[in-house]
Structures are given as C-alpha cells and as structure tokens.
Amino acid sequence: MLDSYNRDINYLRISITDRCNLRCIYCRPMEGVSLTGHDDILRYEEILRVVSRAVTLGFVKVRLTGGEPLVRRGFVEFAADLKKTKGLEDISLTTNGILLEKYAEAIFKAGITRINISLDSMDKDKYAQITRGGNLDDVFRGIAAAEKAGFSPIKINTVIVKGFNDNEVLDFARLALTKPFQVRFIEIMPVSPVNGGLTADFLPNRELLETIGRHFRLTPLAVKKHKTDGPARIFTLPDGRGEIGFIDPVSDHFCATCNRLRLMADGKLRACLLKDEEVDIKAALRQNCSDDELDALIRRAIRLKPERHDLDCTDRHLKKCHRDMSDIGG
C-alpha cells in the first residue's frame, strides 16, 4: 500500500516483547525500563491476526525484534505459526544472540532462515561494558549455532560508539573476510531518553568507510535486488567470504525509500522509528474488531508516516522520543 509520499509500505517490524536480557548503554536505561505487564503485551495470536491483515494490504516482509525476542516464552512455536501466513514472503529475526545457542536449530526448523545478530565488541570486557553485563562467549556460541543450523544470510549488526569501540572497526571488517557474514555498521541514533546526550559519541559512517577503505579494497555491490531490500550500502572485499554494510540513518537518512511500519509489543503501530506518532490497535483487537476495522487502523498508521525524520546529530537537533530503542525494536 502506498503512503502519502508514494512509498510502498510492505515491511512490518514487530517488537514481540519489551523485555531484554541486556542493557546496552545506548538503548536501555541502566535501571531497566518500566515493563509492560503481561496482559498489556500483544498475545501471539493477536500478532498473527495483525500480520495476516497486513499481508492482505500488501505487506510481504516481517522482522521479529524486541526487546530481545528470544526471551519471550513460546517464541519457536509462534515463529512456526507465523511461517504459515499465506502471502508472507520473508520472515527474519533480530537478536542479541545470547540465547541463540539454545534456540538456533529450532528457529531454523520453524522456518526462519534469515537472522541479524547484534554484536558491538569482540573484546570480552568491552562487550560486558556496552551491554552492561553480557557474556561475549554466549554470543559467539550463538553465532556458531546459527551457522551450524544453516541460517543465510547471517548479518552482524554493530553500533560504533566513538572512543569506545571505534578501535575495533578493522576487526569487524576482517570478520567479513573470514566468515560468510554481512557485517553492518549502524550509526548510533541519539533518540531516546536514555541516550539523548550521546552526540559526542556519534561517528558518521563515512569515517568508518574511509578507515576500512585505507586497508581493504571495497567494491560497492549493485543497488537493491528486491523491493523489500533494506537501506544498507553493501561492499565486498577481495577474497572476502562476507560483505560489509553501512546503515546511515543519521548522516544520510534514507526516508525516501522507507517501506516500514512498526508494531510494538504494547499494541501500538508506529509510523516512523524516530517520531512518536502511533495508532493503538490493541484496544480494537480486544474488542473483537472486524477485519475491516483492523485494516482501517493499519491504513491510518501508514498515512501517519512522515516524509522524513528530523534527526541529526548536532546538539541543536537532538531528538527525544518518548520511547527507548529497546521499546521500539530498533
């Protein structure tokens, strides 16, 4: 379905829980967040209903995120049910990988074969610091389990924080040499109550590209292959098994090609990651709304999509959303 700016909105990102087993410094407050009660979270069957209506409106792609999706009980069964949705062409998962060793094989068998794993440092101490307590070995075991299970592609999402992990940029690039992973650098977004002051830590991706380009010959890959492909600029390395991607939501926003709508765990449809306009669908779902009513709410959320976000990384333009990223699902 087209939005007010003629963009085809066909990609639903679903945050299935606002709970997480990590507290990444740029994502979630140290003391945790006010967690939505169990009854206030969309039930799996409600999510499935929304997806099936979204598909009739032209959505073909879904990504499951959180919070940390793997901490929600029943995830594997839910994934298998989601996979049965007729017309849904692409289901993928974003996870921090901590629980992946346990679940990778079952998730793959349930039919999810594309996975993004967040990894901001390959140094054990730094990883523990940036995630406030995460164990890097768990993630490495999770990644190995994902490889073994057969996930393809495996994408590694890395947020570089200036002065903290920018010294690891080349190590991450080398990972794409030796492993068949797409290693993606995502610019830190200073959006939420938790990191609204992080502008000093912002590094534009063009600096990372320059650094990597001084050591490796990067060849840009041709433009999008599929209409639902994301906004990453992808490069290959000579003899590299993997690829390197850059996602620049701040320095080079890609709003003109945005194709997304977000469904959050508390039942709000969010029109833009970086703006607070939302449509509540949980109330309607719980009052047994008709399919037409549900469709109308989804259409309303699509109409709310702004032409672009107004975030940049100067102090003057610090953006404050009322939600943390862990709430929205990244």
Separation CA 13–CA 155 (nearest Å): 16
Whose Cβ is closer to ligand SAM: residue 98's or residue 301's? 98
**Maximum CA extent, the chain:** 59
Task: Decide: is 264 part of the binding site for ligand SAM (CB under 6 A).
Answer: no
Whose Cβ is closer to ligand SAM: residue 29's or residue 299's? 29
| Cβ at position 96, least distance to ligand SAM in Å | 4
Length of the chain: 330
Q: For residue 204, is the peptide bond before it cis, meaning its omega torsion is within 30 degrees of 0?
A: no
**Residue at token pair 């690039």:** 173
Task: Decide: is 189 part of the binding site for ligand SAM (CB under 6 A).
Answer: yes
Residues of this chain, 192-211, that bind ligand SAM according to CB under 6 A: 195
Are 31 and 324 contacting, i.e. CB atoms less than 8 angstroms apart? no
Separation CA 139–CA 117 (nearest Å): 8
Residues of this chain, 81-120, that bind ligand SAM according to CB under 6 A: 94-96, 118
Separation CA 267–CA 201 (nearest Å): 32
Q: Among residues 154, 159, 169, 298, which is the contact residue for ligand SAM, using CB under 6 A? A: 159
Whose Cβ is closer to ligand SAM: residue 20's or residue 50's? 20
Number of residues that bind ligand SAM (CB under 6 A): 21
Task: Decide: is 263 part of the binding site for ligand SAM (CB under 6 A).
Answer: no
Q: What residue type is assigned to position 218 of the chain?
A: L
- Show Cβ contacts of residue 157 under 8 Å, excluding neighbours closer than 6 positions: 94, 116, 117, 118, 119, 184, 186
| Cβ at position 118, least distance to ligand SAM in Å | 4
Site string for ligand SAM, 231-260 (x = CB under 6 A): ------------------------------
Distances (CA, A) of 129 to 125, 150, 165: 6, 31, 11
Task: Decide: is 20 part of the binding site for ligand SAM (CB under 6 A).
Answer: yes
**Interface contacts to ligand SAM, rule CB under 6 A:** 20, 26-27, 65-66, 68, 94-96, 118, 157, 159, 186, 188-189, 191, 195, 325-326, 329-330
